[in-house]
Chains A and B, each alone.
Chain A
Amino acid sequence: MKKHLFSLYLIFICQVVYGQTDTSFFFTRVKQDSSKLKLNMDAVYNRPFLQMGKLPVSLGGYLEANSSYFSTDGVSDGLSFQLPRLTMFMSASIRQRIKFMTEIEFEEGGREINIEFAALDLEFNPLFNLRGGVIMNPIGSFNQNHDGPKWEFVSRPVSSTTIIPSTWSNVGFGVFGKYSRKNWVWAYEAYLSNGFDDNIINNNQNRTWFPASKANGDRFEESFNGVPLKTIKMALKHRKIAEIGISWMGGVYNKFKDDGIILDKKRHLNFIALDINSTILKDTYLNGEWVWAYVDVPDTYIQQFGNRQQGGFLDIVQPIKKGKMLGWSESVLNIALRLEYADYNVGNFQELGLRIADHMYALVPAISFRPSAQTVIRANYRYERHTDLLRNPASQTAGFQFGFSTYF
């Protein structure tokens, strides 16, 4: 028995040693089919996977590592280093037209571990697929298309993480489909899932804060109030022009009934998002998203918790050199600019009649270098202005970020 074990061990070690010099020994990289008209909704499968032999399981993942130096009104905590996320994903073709895919994310050095996606897809027709499990609600484009290596910027867009609380996923079921003809493709998605909870107006941010619901681990087990969150998206794309998407997500966020006793009226929240991406002037890439959020906050609650939010971003990415650079044959050097805005409290003070502020602007020029399509090394300068509720002089934050993100 020990001899067998030793032999097995030797074989394993040899394979590991060999494997370290030739990664194709175990795995082959699954080529992405670039001829297909990919949409933001396809992002979950539109990733570089590694396949082992002829096994029907593919593996993948990505890593992000950064360093940053920021100063707010002249006060800085100095230079720091972050590992914001390590994500691993796995897909399996169970049978023809039955697929499973999961994405597990380790955030902030492992302090948070989240199942961001774990769904079974059954295709009856390209126009009609069923999906169930942990789904990523298709609100805007970033939520589904959030992989670090796809972006030229170190930070995620503020409006897409603090208004739409990307990555926002939940347990649910739904349908999706796609219809294409020549250069055109039209697609839709519609899901019912567990939703938000009343921590969006009961949190330590002192404002309506949708990400607060992400802290509720029970949301993968049960709905906070029994009313499903509904998400619907439609997207239209022309290969040579642009993709445009419109999406809505809405539901009830409060516990209006407990143990059969009515506690409050049903309080709704709604998100409407527009997203667009296009390549103009041959190779200038534009990508943007805008979201409006509406929440029924009780009139008797403090106005710091607003009932309307809005915000968005626009990324402009311009390749300035492509080809062989520094020994890499298919590398790209980009310059890029992100403009972003988030208003956390749209409206007027009841007492003053004046506009409420509580908003931020940011401007992020960037340089990125891609030695391959799967890896990006990026340097950003970020300038932000935050204005408080009362429109007092804005606090200014600025600094540098440097880091990389790569699929593996």
Chain B
Amino acid sequence: MNRRLLIFTIILEAILIVSCERITPSVPADDQILDGPIDGLSSAEKTRFLAGDAAFNDEIFTRETGLGSVFVATSCGSCHAGDGKGTLFTTLTRFGQTDETGNKFLHLGGPQLQNRAIPGYTPESIPAGATFSRFTPPSNTGLGFIELVSDEDILAMADPSDIDKDGISGVPNYSTLPSFINALPNAVPKNGKYIHRFGKKAAAYSLLHQTVNAYSQDIGISSAFAPNDVYSGQEIDPEISNLTINNVVFYLQTLKAPIQRDQNDTQVQQGKQTFIDLGCQGCHKQTLKTGLSPIAALSNKAFHPYTDLLLHDMGSGLDDGYTEGSAKTAEWRTPPLWGLGLSPNSQGGQYFLMHDGRARSIEQAIEMHGGEAGASRDRFKKLAQGEQADLIKFLKSL
């Protein structure tokens, strides 16, 4: 019996060791997750990606490391679970600007509301008379590609006077650059202002601009780029290194673009044709291209974000009375549709769509389109049920 027991134990251990990788969880398919680096990075670039990943997803700020004193979140990953979209729980509130003349409430804590505070401090509240808007966090994926679309290409998609009479008249958001941002060599400025492209109203020029603002306005972390404390308004020592910020920027630049699923499914293919027929492509441009980049894997690539990076008037239903840069209160930047099908994986199994998460399904989101998108919305409503289902399936494949 003892010998049998010994043999049994040895065999069992051997099976366990050999089968380690077989009975542990498997890696999800690349097209089922949003995170992960773009293909073609060098070893050094992968190492930098991992450093940025750790800073973005794992670094939790505390009082000792600079959190607050007022803040919105304790880490970057708090708002971007799995690098995906956020929910109403992680909503940002911005207030105090109604037109392109600028924010009138900067002295009262604008433009962003820090609605949380470390113990012993009082969070901000929206000042009387200030209009405000709530923004859910966007997904992070594919941003490096979007950053590299040239101003020239963006301007080529713009049609401010609707010369082609299709009812769509996208315009870029021109805004002034913060002191820590240098304009790109191929930038096309207008009256000293530059085309911005990130954010719900395209208020951020680049991923560095977006990242510095997020550390400062969302977490209350000062840096050499933005040295003022959000609570006191006074300049304080940097609470994060330039290296960490640059690593996070690199991470965002090199996060892979979402991979479309079920491309050979006939229903998906039919839905894509419906998408084109309805005129959705007028704003949600399927294919854009990057320019030159020091990151070879991003240089001169065609990609499929389904956006034109332009501002469009979305009608009175989406007019929040708040704006940024040169955008008007009813103007919103076309959100990229890639990754839409994977949104519920970061939104607790549900949809929170549109700029503030008010749409709880793709159908609801379409129906909330007004202004320049009103005609396409109306055409969608007139589709047969099956055609609508095809379109939704296509959008979920993105």
Contacts and interface: CB of A to CB of B under 8 A. Distances in A.
Q: Do A and B come from one complex?
A: yes
Interface of A: 69-76, 198, 201-206, 254, 263-264, 267, 298, 300-304, 321, 324-327, 333, 349, 351-352, 354, 357, 367, 369, 379, 381, 388-393, 396-400, 402
B25 A71 contact: yes
B89 A351 contact: yes
B88 A351 contact: yes
Contact of A352 (B88, B120, B122): B88
Given A75-B27, A326-B2, A303 B89 contact: yes
A279 B332 CA distance: 67
A263 B120 contact: yes
Contact of A201 (B20, B87, B119): B119
A381 B16 contact: yes
A301 B2 contact: no
B24 A70 contact: yes
B62 A354 contact: no
B347 A390 contact: yes
Given A73-B28, A300-B116, A300-B123, A392 B82 contact: yes
B118 A202 contact: yes
B25 A396 contact: yes
Interface of B: 2, 5-6, 9, 12-13, 16-17, 20-21, 23-28, 59-60, 62-64, 67, 71, 73-75, 78, 81-82, 87-89, 91, 116-123, 345-349
Contacts of A400: 16-17, 20
Given A301-B119, A390-B346, A391-B349, A73 B88 contact: no
Given A203-B62, A390-B81, A392-B349, A379 B25 contact: no
B314 to A, nearest CB: 24
B25 A398 contact: yes
A325 B2 contact: yes
B345 A393 contact: yes
B73 A399 contact: no
A71 B24 contact: yes
5 interchain residue pairs of minimum CB distance: A74-B27, A71-B24, A390-B348, A396-B25, A204-B60
A321 to B, nearest CB: 8
A390 B345 CA distance: 10
Nearest to B59: A204
Contacts of B87: 351-352, 390
A351 B116 CA distance: 13
26 contacts: A71-B21, A73-B27, A74-B25, A201-B119, A203-B62, A204-B60, A206-B75, A206-B78, A300-B116, A301-B118, A302-B73, A302-B78, A302-B116, A325-B2, A351-B88, A351-B91, A352-B87, A352-B89, A369-B9, A381-B16, A390-B81, A392-B347, A392-B348, A398-B25, A399-B20, A400-B16
A264 B118 CA distance: 12
Contacts of A333: 5
Nearest to A400: B16
B89 A390 contact: yes
B74 A298 contact: no
B37 to A, nearest CB: 14
Most A CB contacts (10 A, CB to CB) among B16, B63, B73, B348 go to B348
Contacts of A369: 9
A383 B120 CA distance: 41
A391 B87 CA distance: 12
A73 B25 contact: yes
B16 to A, nearest CB: 5
A204 B5 CA distance: 46
A201 to B, nearest CB: 7
Contacts of B24: 69-71, 74, 76, 398-399
